[in-house]
Structure 1
């Protein structure tokens, strides 16, 4: 399991959104009456925008997160603007304090498979079922022993409303969100972390004026951010390898300065490898190469150019600076041994194969692949990115003619 520590930087966006909401709360009193009416209903407008965008991009988890955020705001505005000493209000507050983390945990763990299909329908039904289950759990807690009721009683601290038990639940789900952010490296998990934080502050600081308004807006904006970033990823990242794609490369080439180098990299004998071992294994090869190229040093950024070709852009670097980094990539790929299972002995059913892997060692062949690379830099003969790219491609062809598994610059 690979860990993407750099993905933690993405948490900066929901942190700024939620933190900005907390700061903005203190200035709402300075708004005029008409403006305050608009702001008070803004969580609903933001949620509607989320629904439209989520529908367009087929993002069910974020659509449900927007519905949940708007529902929490509606619940607080209509039923929790009273003393929590009232039994009905206390019950609904407990339901909300359980529902927000549990529903966020469900959305964090559920895979994304679109809206209009059987799985999407089941995901939505289970989401609503879990929301209903929170009422049952809350009633069970209220009917439990004194110690359990005390653990989930509101106002455990001065200026803090959320119960100790619900606080621990929020902390556990927050940790889960953090783990999934660095494991999956996805905008959806980051957005859901923002929704979780907004829900937490809405309930923990319920005694503060307008806290549900600013956190309702913050939760919705976190979803909007996640949807926009997700759409950007769809447009600019390659689905198979996870690398930035051709569109992102074209935009990057238009922003380069006066000093840079470009490397073109190609998998050797890839068509022959595909014909021998099949396209599934060929895809695994491309993923392997992409994972190694992504780790290139010296400030390089890797892109999938197309097919078995990759491109690396090195800003403010000469060809000599980049050659060592590309050679390390080439060597790491050549030294990696891939195991290919004997397909004839593999069970037809995937579950049977999973069961047998624990007890039966299937015969496998080890293979390795090599890559060739060419590097060119901007200069008098290559004054623009297109000519540098063409020159790097020419150097790549020379590497092939030279015998492959080498870097030419």
Structure 2
């Protein structure tokens, strides 16, 4: 499941950080001393990469985590009011950032998000500086029996805020299944751990370093997705295809796939509907049997690669995926494009043409790709919705 995949970095870092925390005292003195500077080094890298790759939400998470780490290290947060204000409002601010769409770092909308973060931090500072009377009535109030919280110095309201945000982010992660929400979840967990172990230097260093590693992994994974995955279909793009072809050895088959009459369909029903067609075709190609891998080549063209299979072995799988697409009814909602909105949705048959070539009759991957492209045009000339070699 994809949700397990996006949660895996968080789980691995959690296990590693807990193990390191338990065995910290057994580290060599030189390593232990150097570890004190690790959060600042990782913070600098996180800030650099988030700005470079234009990831505003990860930038804000990095800044908030760094400020919390410094504040706890300098004992700026008193165990009562200061810690309670930050502990209640900081997770809520993180949740707000996760709910907002990505706006980048330097766009006009990004500066609006920057302003929201700054205003929120200023509000926290004002509350800790002025300590209005209602703070004790609400934030410092014990809502449950004290005996349930005798294991921690953190007020009950802080734990309630943290648990609420944690559950909300879990639900958001189940819906989105993305690395940014995972990073936000990780920062909230570390925030609660830091507040609980506020005066423990080793815990601050270990858990903060783990959170910054998670943020770095998230921004690098996002940059990889931008470079290698097609944004519209979610399939690996041409760059990923080139790397795949570079690593092929021995016998393999390449299939070039083209959506039939796509330009006419796009002109008639609109680009939004055309995009839905490409997504549908990509989803079917992704499920191609026989160990094939699907890539978006460009426009309405896709590529299938079958390592270890010649044409005779790969052709039945190409036929199978062609038939699957042809037999899948595509529902057209003309309200998103076309000449007139329709009160009723109608269906259309989407078909693809496929050209096959293998390495047995071609000396290189480039030659095989070109031969598959020629076979594709042969399929189109023979009437489309067929596989040709």
| Matches of 2:120 and 2:144, distance apart in 1 | 22
Task: Report which stretch shifted further, 286-295 or 233-242.
Answer: 286-295
Q: Secondary structure at the residue paired with 1:143?
A: helix
Task: Compare 227-236 and 200-209 and name the one that shifted more.
Answer: 200-209
Task: Return the alpha-carbon distance in structure 2 between the equivalents of residues 174 and 300 of structure 1.
Answer: 39
Partner residue in 2 for 1:392: 372
Q: 1:378: how far off?
A: 3.1
**Are 2:136 and 1:142 equivalent residues in the alignment?**
yes
1:107-256 aligned within 5 A: 107-132=97-122, 140=134, 142-144=136-138, 148-151=141-144, 156=149, 158=151, 160=152, 162=154, 165-206=157-198, 208-256=200-248
Query: How many Å separate the matches in 2 of 1:308 and 1:398?
Result: 17
CA contact (8 A) 1:14 1:194 kept: yes
Structure 2 equivalent of residue 339 of structure 1: 332
**Would the aligned equivalents of 1:51 and 1:66 in 2 still touch at CA under 8 Å?**
yes
Gaps of 5+ in 1: 82-87, 347-360
Which of residues 372, 376, 394 in structure 1 aligns to 2:353? 372
SS at match of 1:113: coil
Q: Residue 308 of structure 2: which of 306, 310, 316 is its match?
A: 316
The Cα shift of 1:364 comes to 5.1
For residues 366 and 93 of structure 1, do their structure 2 counterparts lie closer, same or farther at Cα, with a shift above 3 Å needed?
same
Could you tell me how far apart the structure 1 residues matched to 2:276 and 2:201 are?
55
* Alpha-carbon displacement from aligned partner over 1:32-82 (angstroms, at most 9, x marks no partner): 66654542232222212211111111111000000011011112212278x
Across the two proteins, how many residue pairs are aligned to each other? 382
SS of the aligned residue for 1:374 comes to: strand
Deviation at 1:132, TM superposition (A): 5.0
1:94 and 1:326, CA in 2 relative to 1: closer, same or farther beyond 3 A? farther
Question: CA, structure 1 residues 394+130, in 2 after alignment: closer, same or farther (shift >3 Å)?
Answer: same
Q: Which moved more, 1:227-236 or 1:363-372?
A: 363-372
Gaps of 5+ in 2: none
Kindly indicate whether the alpha-carbon contact (under 8 Å) linking 1:262 and 1:311 is maintained by their aligned counterparts in 2. yes
Task: Give TM-score, length-normalised by structure 2.
Answer: 0.85
Q: Deviations over 1:108-156 (max 9, x none)?
A: 211112122221111122223344556759964531399x524497981
Q: Give the conservation status (yes or no) of the 8 Å contact 1:103–1:131.
A: no
Query: Following the alignment from structure 2 to structure 1, what is the Cα–Cα distance between the partners of residues 103 and 217?
Result: 20
- Given that 1:152 and 1:165 are in contact with CA atoms closer than 8 Å, whether structure 2 keeps it comes out as no
Please report how far the alpha carbon of residue 314 of structure 1 lies from its aligned counterpart in structure 2 after TM superposition: 2.6
Q: Cα gap change, 1:252/1:145 in structure 2, threshold over 3 Å: closer, same or farther?
A: closer
SS at match of 1:79: coil
Determine the structure 2 residue equivalent to 1:349.
none
Secondary structure of 2:296's aligned partner: strand
Is 1:41 the counterpart of 2:31? The answer is no
Quickly say closer, same or farther: Cα 1:326–1:28, change in 2 above 3 A.
Answer: same
The partner residue of 2:62 within 66, 81, 96 is: 66
How far does the alpha carbon of each residue in 1:214-245 deviate from its partner, in whole angstroms, 9 at most, with x for none?
Answer: 11111111111111111111111122222111
